[in-house]
Amino acid sequence: MSDGRRSGGRRPVPAGGGVLLVIGGLALLALGFVLGIVVLGQPPGAPEPGNTALGAGLSTAGGSTTAPRATTKPAKAPIRFEPPWINIGVLKPGQSATANVRVRNIGTTPLKILSSRASCGCTSVNLANTVIDPGEAAMLTVRYDALATLGKKQENIKVRFEGYDQPAELTVFAEVHLAVRAVPVFIAASQVTSGWFTVESVDDRPFRILGSNGTAPVYDAFDPEVDEPRTSYTVKWDLTPFDATTCQDADGNPMPGWWVIETDHPECPIFDVTVRHVCTVPPRRPPDGRPWVLSQTRAPIGRLEPGEPVEFRVSLKWLGGAEPDDTVYTAFSESPEQFDAELVAVEQRGTLIEALIRVTPRDGFRGLVYGSLRVYSARHSAPLVVIGQVAAAG
């Protein structure tokens, strides 16, 4: 008999060895299955993380599964605005216009309106506690008050309904313009201290610039001594006298928040351009903790004759959804050498508190009006810049 090791033959398997091999193989398979679950966090053949087979929303990130988050959104009331939006059109600062829109119930049960609130200088009739039956409609009257800020406007009116978390929103479009405007509509002074902007007539009527922030204008490629009036000018603005840290010039005057242009255009004797700088941007919330701000930070009063009074409206805008618990009691001039100020009337419509203020130039004062007054409530006060022009004695 030959030696199996030398001949390359296989050694004989002991009796019962086949059974042991089968049992060992099965044990190894079981161990691999368990390790696959422990190490990989999922059984063999399960879809990879992110696979569309995880349609139930389970996540396997980090080797664990998490239950899906609720994705239900608060229901909106079944209503339809007719028309679906409001376009007020073009207004001048200080002008007002009204428009009506129907709030129609397109559901099968009555709807109760909890409130209707505007987010801007536009105001709406408060329809609180109005019930609209299925198929019926309630009339919402919107009055838009054009404030002093120029340009295109887009505001919202929110109507809340009982039993629904999300309000229905109505968009209001408007445009506020004077006969003369600046391009761009603001002065970007954050990175540079001087630059140029265009002053042009909207109606293509030639005009002259009489003053640029209280001084003679500096033009690009125009000589007012020899050139004829134009419909458009390139004018320089310059804030180099003002320190960016103290926000004042050498005489202690604060950096102006508006650059004022005076013209001989009969429809626009004076207008202003917003100055955007860290020194001129008001804080997001009042530092004195008051729950309201004024609807505008400056009041343009236009051109006045000596001693001629002018009246304008300003509203209290409540912050963070605060309910009105204060009102306007008085107003005083902080620039008595230029003008006097007084509170004429106060009107409250829903959540809107509106004050009518009268400004009268002081006797003997002429030229550019650039001062401030202060509006007082029972517990707080807020400043308001007044910009205008008093004509020279004729």
3 state DSSP class of 367: strand
- What residues have CB less than 8 Å from 169, skipping those under 6 apart? 156, 157, 158, 159
Contact between residue 144 and residue 96 where contact means Cβ atoms under 8 Å apart: yes
Query: Do 254 and 309 belong to one domain?
Result: no
Position 154 in a domain: yes
Position 40 in a domain: no
Q: Which of the two residues, 34 and 296, has the higher pLDDT score?
A: 296
Query: Do 124 and 89 belong to one domain?
Result: yes
Residue with tokens 């022009």: 389
Query: Do 172 and 183 belong to one domain?
Result: no
- CA 242, CA 46: separation in Å to the nearest integer? 69
How many domains is the chain built from? 3
Query: Do 184 and 172 belong to one domain?
Result: no
Residue 310's closest CA among 329, 337, 330, 338? 338
Domain closes at, from 256, 281, 306: 281
For residue range 118-159, list pLDDT tens digits in order: 876 566 777 888 999 999 999 999 888 887 677 788 889 999
Query: Do 316 and 362 belong to one domain?
Result: yes
Question: What pairs with residue 209 in β-bridges?
Answer: 263
Query: DSSP string of 38-95?
Result: HHHSS-TTPPPTT-TT-TT--B-GGG--BPPPP---PPBPSEEEESSEEEEEEE-TT-
Position 74 in a domain: no
Position 28 in a domain: no
Query: Do 301 and 365 belong to one domain?
Result: yes
Task: Report pLDDT for 120.
Answer: 66
* Cα separation of the two ends of the chain: 143
| pTM of the full structure | 0.65
- CA 271, CA 178: separation in Å to the nearest integer? 8
Task: Report pLDDT for 319.
Answer: 86
Mean pLDDT calculated for residue range 168-172: 93
Domain closes at, from 176, 205, 220: 176
Q: Residue 162's domain spans which residues?
A: 79-176
Query: Do 204 and 264 belong to one domain?
Result: yes
Which of 60-64, 94-98, 158-162, 388-392 comes out lowest in average pLDDT?
60-64
Question: Which CATH number do you get for residue 218?
Answer: 2.60.40
For residue range 17-76, list pLDDT tens digits in order: 444 333 444 444 444 444 444 343 444 444 343 333 323 333 334 444 444 454 455 588
Question: Which CATH number do you get for residue 394?
Answer: 2.60.40.10
Task: Report pLDDT for 55.
Answer: 33
Judge residue 273's burial from the number of C-beta atoms within 10 Å of its C-beta, 0-12 exposed, 13-18 middle, 19 or more buried: buried
Contact between residue 68 and residue 56 where contact means Cβ atoms under 8 Å apart: yes
Position 72 in a domain: no
Mean pLDDT rounded to a whole number for the chain = 82
Task: Report pLDDT for 289.
Answer: 86
Query: Do 324 and 239 belong to one domain?
Result: no
Position 24 in a domain: no
Query: Do 146 and 240 belong to one domain?
Result: no
Question: What pairs with residue 117 in β-bridges?
Answer: 158
- CA 362, CA 340: separation in Å to the nearest integer? 7
Domain closes at, from 248, 281, 314: 281
Position 7 in a domain: no
Position 25 in a domain: no
